[in-house]
Amino acid sequence: MSENRVRVTQDSGSRWRRRAGEYATLTEALAVAEPGDTVTVRRGVFRENVVLDKPVHVVTADGPGTVRIDPPSGTALTVTAGATVRDLVIEGCDSSAPAVLIAGPKATASLVGCRVDGHAAVGIEVTDQAEVLLTGCTVANPSGLGLRLRGEAVARFEECEVSAAGQAGLAVLEGSGARLHRCRLHHAAGAGVLLSDAGSLAELTGCEIFEIRGSGVQAESRAVGRLTDCEIHRVTGNGLTLDTEAELELTECRLHDLPENAADLRGRAALTMERSAVRAFGRGALSIWDPGTRVAATGCEIEDSTGDYPAIWVSDGAQLTLTDCALHDLPDALFVLDRDSRATVTDTSFSRIRSSAVSVSSGATVELARCRVQEAGTGLWFRDHGSGGRLTDCEIAEVATGVIVTKGADPVLRGCVVRGSAEAAVYVSAQGRGSFEECRAIQGRGFGFHVIDGCRTVLTRCRAEQNRRAGFEFSEPGPIAEGCTSDDVAPPPPAELPAQRAAQLTSAAPPLVAPPQISPIPDCRPADEALAELDALIGLATVKQEVRTLIDLISVGRRRMQAGLKAPSLRRHLVFTGSPGTGKTTVARLYGEILASLGVLQRGHLIEVARVDLVGEHIGSTAIRTQAAFDQARGGVLFIDEAYTLAPEDGARDFGREAIDTLVKLMEDHRDEVVVIVAGYTAEMERFLAANPGLSSRFSRTIAFPDYTDAELLEITRTQCVEHQYQLAEATAGALLKHFATLDRGPSFGNGRTARQVFETMVERHAMRVAQLPDPSTEDLQLLVPADLPLPHPHPA
């Protein structure tokens, strides 16, 4: 008699009437088992085809790996009911059948801790509207597919692994749905995940796909995939391949070490990426082809190309949207080509680009807003007829050439800055056009705006500063310049062309345009007038001397540069220390105005902020607020009052630190665009400057604002009287002096603010007094007498 190795525990619903039986084979045991029974299998190998057509529980008696199902052919395990299988090893070697088949709408099965080893057509197949949960299972099937879902099946995989597959690791087909959590798919000879057919959906969270001889994820025929916190790396094909209206959504994913494209899209497919990273790719990060194909990336990073191809390629009418992304360490960053191809890029940075950051050709267009290009061969190159777009408030720094426009290209640039270019900041040639409005070329080693070949470029209110060769260079008539300024005004080209050149111009050529006139950079207000207003301020003798010293240094430095001499490198950011009401804001406003009059700042306006304007309530919002305030101050002064509140003594987790860190970086990245002045009490400002290692080095000096003396407070009050057409009686002036001497000069003392408050109180008391007079004279209406002084306040004990 053969050994009984399978025990069936039957429960009729009462724990006192439990019955059990033992059988030699799984087939015999399952034949007598009833729904809800538990089938316990002892150690051994069962060479039979097991069918679970009842909702039973199959478990091992001796733990995982002790029971193997290994039939000579066919499907090793078939589940058509709501059964549970735990810790079995299932081996199938039929190349025409799956090792495990879960089929039918009643198959709400659960497999826990099972291992599928085989050389079958499929490791596990779920089909015909079955629903299955796999937890902690492993599949190795080097001869075929690892997992396959079809026929509107639904499967959840928790911490499962496909360790080898001769084809795709997971295939989701025919409207099926798969959800994978913390799963690993690797060493597959096809795609790691294959999605196909309308209605098919795969959702992966915390999964890893690697060592794939094909694409990491391949989606086609209107299938949809959603990946969150997933990693795809070391695949021989593309990281992602999308075709025929498939859609993928990636959130906080990582794609790296990919010899081909990180993502290749065609046929109206769509990819959405948020807070994801792409690096170490051999061909491209994003290759986007065909009309209707589109990619939208937000908060993503693309870096470290290992090949010589553009990181992003948009062609044949495809669409790209980048928002708040970073692209760096690349041969070329973004190529957009072909009519109807379009890229919209906002708040994105391009850095360390060996050739072109953005290239637009063959009729394509781009829209860039608030983008930054730094350390590139060419910032932007509009190459040929029909190519163009719009750039708004972009900055291009430390490049060979900032913007190139050639062969009929016609972009529009507004409010853009090119800084520190090795050659021309803007170069237009070969019938290129372009409109440049309120753009700036600063500190270049070549020309600021260089237009040759008589190109009909339009420049409106553009500005060139500190360019080594010249601010504007027009080799022939053609460019149109309106309201443009330069600190190095080049003589206009001759009005009359040489006879030989004039004879070459035929009637078919466009009419010559008069040479544009470039004006010197205008003074907003003469510096002497602003300095005179500074000198007219009451008191503040040491402050005035400090500011004059700074202005002299800057002014002489500018003159040395114009004379071809090396100018001292000055940091113009300041720290103002002292009590409230000592004139810090007023001095900051005048300082910005003087710098603008000297051509150091573009506008010289003052933006005053405090902690509430910079610090947000959520992680990340502080950096956004600080950036916005800094952007408002571009070309002028950012004045941060009570700056020490950004670094409270007990603020280890305070968001103010984020504002300081953001500010330090912005001051370095835009050192010549904004003057930052921080103000507050002396001791507290020392703590503020120690909050970030690089903070104190950003400021050139500290200017201390002393408290006003009693006599100076009296003088401020006199000024208020003159401004508002009041008069002080002699006795009133003496009484005021004594009143100011009695005031408590503690931390709450308001200095000039206190003097203004005293004046307002006197005006109120004067009104109450004069209102009682039957027929007040003009003198009565103006004269402030001792009785109008505020009532004395006793000093605190």
Q: Three-state SS for 630?
A: helix
Q: How buried is 659 (Cβ within 10 angstroms: 0-12 exposed, 13-18 middle, 19+ buried)?
A: buried
pLDDT value of position 710: 86
Please provide the distance, in angstroms rounded to a whole number, between the alpha carbons at the two ends of the chain: 107
Q: Are 680 and 641 in contact (CB under 8 A)?
A: yes
pLDDT value of position 522: 53
Cα(643)–Cα(626) distance, rounded to whole angstroms? 13
Q: Three-state SS for 503?
A: helix
Token representation of residue 2: 């053969």
Q: Are 226 and 175 in contact (CB under 8 A)?
A: no
pLDDT value of position 519: 64
Of 747, 357, 744, 370, nearest in space to 578 by CA: 747
pLDDT value of position 17: 44
Token representation of residue 797: 């004990």
| Residue 27: partners with Cβ closer than 8 Å, 6 or more residues away | 48, 50, 51
Amino acid identity of residue 210, one-letter, is F
Cα(345)–Cα(775) distance, rounded to whole angstroms? 72
Q: Three-state SS for 79?
A: strand
Q: What share of the chain is helix, strand, coil (3-state, %, to 5)?
A: 20, 40, 40
List the beta bridge partners of residue 165: 141, 188
Q: Are 274 and 253 in contact (CB under 8 A)?
A: no
| Residue 174: partners with Cβ closer than 8 Å, 6 or more residues away | 150, 151, 152, 197, 199, 200
Q: Are 733 and 758 in contact (CB under 8 A)?
A: no
Of 316, 239, 308, 233, nearest in space to 271 by CA: 239
pLDDT value of position 14: 44
Q: How buried is 304 (Cβ within 10 angstroms: 0-12 exposed, 13-18 middle, 19+ buried)?
A: middle
Token representation of residue 290: 């065909």
Helices (H), 652-743: 656-669, 682-689, 710-723, 730-742
Residue with tokens 């101050």: 633
- pTM to 2 decimals? 0.66
Residue with tokens 């059948």: 97
pLDDT value of position 789: 87
pLDDT value of position 507: 35
Q: Are 422 and 399 in contact (CB under 8 A)?
A: yes
What does the chain come to in residues? 797
CA 440, 626, 252: angle at the middle one, nearest 5?
A: 100
Cα(293)–Cα(690) distance, rounded to whole angstroms? 51
The two beta strands, 50-52 and 77-79, are parallel
> How many other C-beta atoms are found inside a 10 Å radius of the C-beta of residue 511?
8
> How many other C-beta atoms are found inside a 10 Å radius of the C-beta of residue 623?
19
| pLDDT tens figures, 453-503 | 899 999 999 999 989 888 999 988 899 999 999 987 644 443 333 444 333
Q: Are 589 and 637 in contact (CB under 8 A)?
A: yes
| Regions of the chain with pLDDT less than 50 | 1, 12, 14-17, 490-513, 794-797
For 21-45, b/e burial (b = at least 16 CB within 10 A) is: eebebbebbbeebeeebbbbbeeee
